[in-house]
Structure 1
Amino acid sequence: MTQITIPRPDDWHLHLRDGEMLKAVAPQTAQHFARAIIMPNLVPPVVTGAQASAYRDRILAALPEGSTFEPLMVLYLTEDTDPKDVAAAHASGLVKAVKLYPAGATTNSNSGVRNFDNVRPVLEKMAEIGLPLCVHGEVTTHEVDIFDREATFIDTVLDPLRKATPGLRVVMEHITTKEGVDYVSAQGSDMGGTITTHHLIINRNHILVGGIKPHYYCLPVAKREIHRRALVEAATSGNPHFFLGTDSAPHTDDAKESPCGCAGCFTATNTMQLLAHVFDAEGKLNALTKFASENGPKFYGLPVNTNSLTLTKKSETATWPSKIASAAGPVTVFDPGFPVYWHIEN
């Protein structure tokens, strides 16, 4: 195949930040995606319906004129979150999910959950009203190796949490391990998993071999090649449990290239070309529709987009900006490290 047309894709895990960074990166996602689940880990975090509404207004104001991109808002779960506010925000149609960050797990997660018993009333209300919980699937205890945090989270947090809250719809975000793939695959229709573009392409060697590559550093950190292969097989399988969540996370170059560099890969600009390359290399290009356009809406109870996106494979390599300019500083676009021949036609 040298061309594929799919329903316009959605991004089920996206960081847009705020202020000047928001203005720079929001148009990058709006070019190719119809909707996106917007991460709430601002400073301060988006914890109430009123804050989510105000953030949504700022996102819409940052879009190009005439854009039809729809931000799907998410509340940041804290131990003080009010179940009634969550239910009201969901009932209004504004909020599509609540995000669980274990405290200290990733960027701007210090307001996250330390004692899971304290959020039980919120989780029970969410199960009652059918509101999904998106989880950053890593433990943060110092005795657990960073490469084992996801597998440990499944055993010690995620599985017990789901068993204690029957009916709760859960998305395990940015899965990075074979253990994560196997766990999600074995669950029912109330469990989903997102997979990022960059975790389909890089393993931990890309970060560490030949010198530290800060623009490949992300959380959860990329794992061994056996885990990357498990992700590729899951994404290209058509399995309805798995759908695209880029976790595209912009940081300025000075924040990435510092003695304590920030975690995150910025993939909003070139995700669809990279996915076409990965799926084509596996001989599974037809499965791209399910992964990028169908499985996510089905899990969230939303319609598949009626407009479309066409990708064409050409003899010349595709190009995109190496950096996105912002008033806060330049943001480096993810470099896959190989030539890509897939071009977006619309």
Structure 2
Amino acid sequence: MYEKKITIIKPDDWHVHLRDGQILKKIIKYTGKFYKRAIIMPNLDNPIIRCSQAISYRNRILRSMNSNYKFEPLMTCYLTPSTTLKEIKLGFTKKIFIAAKLYLRDSTTNSKIGIKKINDIIHILEYMEKIGMPLLIHGEEIDKNIDVYDREAMFIENTLEPCRKKFPKLKIVLEHITTKESVEYVKEHDPKYLSATITPHHLMLNRNHMFFQGIQPYLYCLPLLKKKLHQQALRKVIATGDKHFFLGSDTAPHLHKNKINFFGYAGIFNAPSSLLCYVTVFEEMKALQYLQSFCSENGPRFYNVCINKETITLVKKPYKVLKKINIGKDIIVPFLAGKTLNWSLET
């Protein structure tokens, strides 16, 4: 018998790109509609590397949010070779930064000032382990000689495993995992110290979808969609209720002119439908009993924050995803634009 209505603790999104300026003002409400809190990625055009920048950006986010939504942005520090222990200590002890983000240089959008080698910040990681500050990782190797579909698995072997051996109690989130190898590796470790986020698009799609009836630039993201066997591994693990894994949509808006370009930008803007996508997958996997733990409980437990008290209700009612969002003279096209999902938010 199928559920007609589901009420769960209001979720948090543990991986969100909000951009800034006009884009921020237009898209922030879609995250606020579904989520109480969200971890805000720091890779802006002018990356968030200092506490003062994080405070200013947080204020811009709150000013842009729909006044009907009670929303808390959780800020992160963009790690660079020049990041200081003083900045990390100030940010974490004053609750300005909830975590620090590691981008290997040139691994994704706005990562040109990222870390070339993880050994460049050994002193930072040692201190973060000491104070219990989480490290968020875009886990892909950047060596051009490594096949693009193997970068995540090679990152675990070449970078993550040596790091964990050196810092076994460093709290790490391996973000937006996409492979069977990642699932198996994360499951081997204590969820107190290693967990992972999974996006709705990596649960719903595999790499065949990106090339169906011609290349589909709006399904281009990093890490890339992988083979069906990897998609199935992600779906299977969330259907077991495993506490290592939680919601991180990696919603990432880009203007149409930047997606459809000679060098198209990587990123999928799924905020208008992400929670509805997750419930769709859990229903397909006959695992709705684990929806709340994945969306609302596992993340707060890892970050040592309170689980939300509010609830949110989803109903079995068709929801048509909007086709576009106007941004000045350009547009942003959302994930599943124009398509109809079977679940809606109760109003």
Inter-partner Cα distance in structure 2 for 1:328 and 1:40: 26
CA distance change for structure 1 residues 311 and 31 in 2, over 3 Å: closer, same or farther?
Answer: same
Q: Which residue of 2 aligns with 1:10?
A: 12
Q: How does 1:2-151 map to 2 (within 5 A)?
A: 2-151=4-153
Alignment partners' CA distance in 2, 1:90 and 1:49? 9
Task: Tell me the CA shift for residue 216 of structure 1.
Answer: 0.5
- By how many angstroms is 1:49 displaced? 1.1
Write the distance in 2 (CA, Å) between the matches of 1:318 and 1:44: 36
**1:168 offset after TM fit, Å?**
0.4
Q: Deviations over 1:170-217 (max 9, x none)?
A: 000000000000000111121010000110011111112321100000
Task: Give the aligned partner of residue 213 of structure 1.
Answer: 216
Residue aligning to 2:245: 242
**Aligned ranges 1:300-311 → 2 under 5 Å:** 300-311=303-314
Q: CA deviation at 1:159?
A: 0.8
TM, length-normalised to structure 1: 0.97
Matched to 1:199, the amino acid is H
Contact 1:130–1:168 under 8 Å retained in 2: yes
Look up the SS of the partner of 1:258 in the other structure.
Answer: coil
Shift of 1:338: 6.5
CA distance in 2 between partners of 1:118 and 1:280 (Å) = 44
**Aligned-residue identity in percent:** 42
Q: In the alignment, which residue of structure 2 is the partner of 1:167?
A: 169
1:258-299, Cα deviation, whole Å (9 max, x unpaired): 121110111100111111111111111111101111000000
**Is 1:295 paired with 2:298?**
yes
Once the two structures are superposed, residues 79-119 of structure 1 have per-residue CA deviations (whole angstroms, 9 ceiling, x without a partner) of: 11001211111111121100000100000011110032220
> What SS is found at the alignment partner of 1:330?
strand
**Residues in 2 aligned to 1:205 and 1:336: alpha-carbon distance in whole angstroms:** 18
Amino acid at match of 1:24: K
Long gaps (5+) in structure 1: none
* Correspondence for 1:325: 326
Question: Which residue is 2:205 aligned to?
Answer: 202
Query: Is the Cα–Cα contact under 8 Å of residues 178 and 226 in structure 1 kept in the other structure?
Result: yes
1:263 aligned to 2:266? yes
Return the alpha-carbon distance in structure 2 between the equivalents of residues 324 and 283 of structure 1: 33
What amino acid is the match of 1:178? Answer: K
TM-aligned CA deviation for residue 337 of structure 1: 9.0
**Rounded Cα–Cα distance in structure 2 between residues aligned with 1:180 and 1:304:** 26
Moved more, 203-212 or 216-225: 203-212
Matched-pair contact (CA < 8 Å) for 1:134–1:170: yes
Which shows bigger deviation, 232-241 or 318-327? 318-327
CA contact (8 A) 2:7 2:311 kept: yes
Equivalent position SS for 1:325 = strand
What is the SS of the residue equivalent to 2:341?
coil
Q: Which runs of 5+ in 2 are unaligned?
A: none
Specify which of 176, 181, 204 is matched with residue 179 of structure 1.
Answer: 181
Distance in 2 separating the partners of 1:165 and 1:264: 31
Structure-2 change in CA distance of 1:328 and 1:197 (3 Å): farther
Deviation of the 1:325 alpha carbon? 2.1
What CA RMSD, in Å, does the superposition of the two structures yield over aligned residues? 1.3
Q: Which moved more, 1:150-159 or 1:230-239?
A: 230-239
- The AA in structure 1 aligned to 2:244 is H
How many angstroms does 1:324 deviate by? Answer: 1.8
Q: 1:72 to 1:34 in 2, by over 3 A?
A: same
Q: Normalized against structure 2, the TM-score is what?
A: 0.97
The residue identity in structure 2 corresponding to 1:165 is: F
